A and B are shown apart, each in its own frame.
Chain A
Amino acid sequence: MSFLLEGLIKAIHLLLDMDPETYSAVWTTLQVSSGSMAASLLAGIPLGFFLGYHDFRGKRQVRIVVDTLLALPTVFVGLLVYAFLSRQGPLGSMGLLFTVPGIAIGQTILALPIVVALTATAVEGLDRQLQFTLVSLGADRLQLLTGTLWEARFAILAAALTAYGRVMTEVGISMMVGGNIKWHTRTITTAIALETGKGQFGMGIALGLILLAIAFAVNLSVSFLRKRA
């Protein structure tokens, strides 16, 4: 039990002393999660809108597939991405294995179904009257898209935060694709796994608290942005 308090004290020390190893892991975590969030939002919001707004044959089936992908195990995604990025794999020549962009690709696959599914649900939940109003006001397709998404913005923000939480905290992809390489691909979560494996429980707790602090800062910023000015 004593390592819990030790961890709290250590977390404060690591942050205040500007411990280079900790900051390297924090920076890597931010890089990876920013990259994967940017990619999954850019691709996922339009896809989610399409899935939620349009009625087409097989929509229910697509929905079931997307919802199933919400349960993607991270180690499994890690293995899949490894198979593609390995030198023996189809994308091996790109040299992405054991790199930050490599991890970001894996995490994008993890986040994309969350963004698509929750955006689609948000768009479906809107009053159909809104779309009629937009069209009758002479909105073109792009304006219809942006207008609808604007009305659903808070639900989409919640989708983004959910995806962000999953991406920030996963360890399977970062470990398998990134390799937990010190100064390069060591994220906070792989560092926690390493420290725990080494029996340095206090250090593991400290890093966990730092991760939570980052999540708190992100949520605080988002909550500030949500507030009506």
Chain B
Amino acid sequence: MRALQMKRILLWAMAIGLVWAVVTSVSSAADSLTMATTTSTDNTGLLDELMPEFTKDTGIDIKWTATGTGKALKLGENCDVDVLMVHAPPAEKKFVDAGFGVNRREIMYNDFVLIGPPGDPAGISGKTVAEAMMQFEKKKAVFVSRGDNSGTNKKEIGLWKAAGLEVPDRAEWYVQTGQGMLSTIRIAAERDGYTLTDRGTYIKYSADHKGNPPLKVLVEGDAVLLNQYSVIVVNPDRCKNVKADLAEKFVEWITGDRAQQQIAEFRLLGQELFHPNAK
């Protein structure tokens, strides 16, 4: 008989829990800002540091979904988010020109670097970017690409073209992962290959390896390697649901002195991951 009672209690508990879970899930639609951003800002931990400050300063709750720049722009085009934080200036300008976004503001930058095994089988160390790309092709050195239309992938495609080369789409030494930056670096490390990464993610990767990562920076400092991050408000004239006033507040906040300083203060291994440059 005891067991029967227990069963009843358990059944009721399950039923009540179920109803409660369903009810709370429906009622949790609070007013807040939604942002689409890139994996580099999220994976490095920058947003975890910065966004609570934004909420503290303005009282606005912000939710973000981290994808590649390509999908982030698509989410903006489909009116599914209010604001974007992305890093592919040519694609961004196209996005704004097409009327999908307004008020594009640059907020911070870092740079891309070519990393590879310390032994450097392709011999790119100290070369220019264009020379390095030609070396990969010539030596058929394993090059691991994001292959996901992200900001970094767009940059990499631009680098092949700038070197006067075809994108080696089907070459056997060219590996397209379709994954985020940290996964891609890890795959490059497993394959003893090269890859292009933003410096922020590379520093995070180094920090994960206690400052001694298996892949080293081999080419850096070239002007074409600049990596500019910007915010864009999704055009409220096209997308009626966009919370333009909140989005504008966000843009104002992140380009403001306090947030800019916090970006500069975000460090791993004592290094700055992103340099603020809002005008």
Residue ranges of A at the interface with B (Cβ–Cβ < 8 Å): 30-32, 34-35, 37-38, 86-88, 92-93, 95, 97-101, 104, 179-184, 196-200, 221, 224-225, 227, 229
Contact = CB atoms under 8 A, between A and B. Distances in A.
List 8 A-B pairs, minimum CB-CB distance, nearest first: A179-B65, A87-B79, A229-B4, A100-B25, A34-B21, A31-B25, A181-B63, A197-B180
B224 interface: no
B10 A225 contact: yes
Interface of B: 1, 3-4, 6-7, 10-11, 14, 17-18, 21-22, 24-26, 28-29, 34, 39, 43, 48, 63-66, 78-80, 179-180, 182-183, 186, 205, 208, 239, 241
A98 B65 CA distance: 9
A101 B25 contact: yes
Contacts, number: 88
Contacts of A32: 25
B7 A224 contact: yes
A216 to B, nearest CB: 15
A179 B80 CA distance: 11
A202 to B, nearest CB: 11
14 contacts: A31-B22, A31-B25, A34-B22, A35-B25, A38-B18, A87-B239, A92-B79, A93-B241, A99-B28, A101-B25, A101-B26, A197-B179, A199-B208, A225-B7
Given A95-B29, A181-B65, A199-B183, A34 B78 contact: no
Contact of A227 (B3, B34, B205): B3
B29 A99 contact: yes
Contacts of A30: 17, 21
Given A99-B25, A198-B182, A199-B208, 12 more contacts: A31-B22, A86-B79, A87-B239, A87-B241, A95-B29, A180-B66, A197-B39, A199-B183, A199-B205, A221-B10, A224-B6, A229-B1
A75 B21 CA distance: 25
Contacts of B179: 197
A31 B27 CA distance: 12
Contacts of B182: 197-199
A152 B225 CA distance: 66
Contacts of B186: 199
Nearest to B17: A34
Contacts of A37: 18
A224 B10 contact: yes
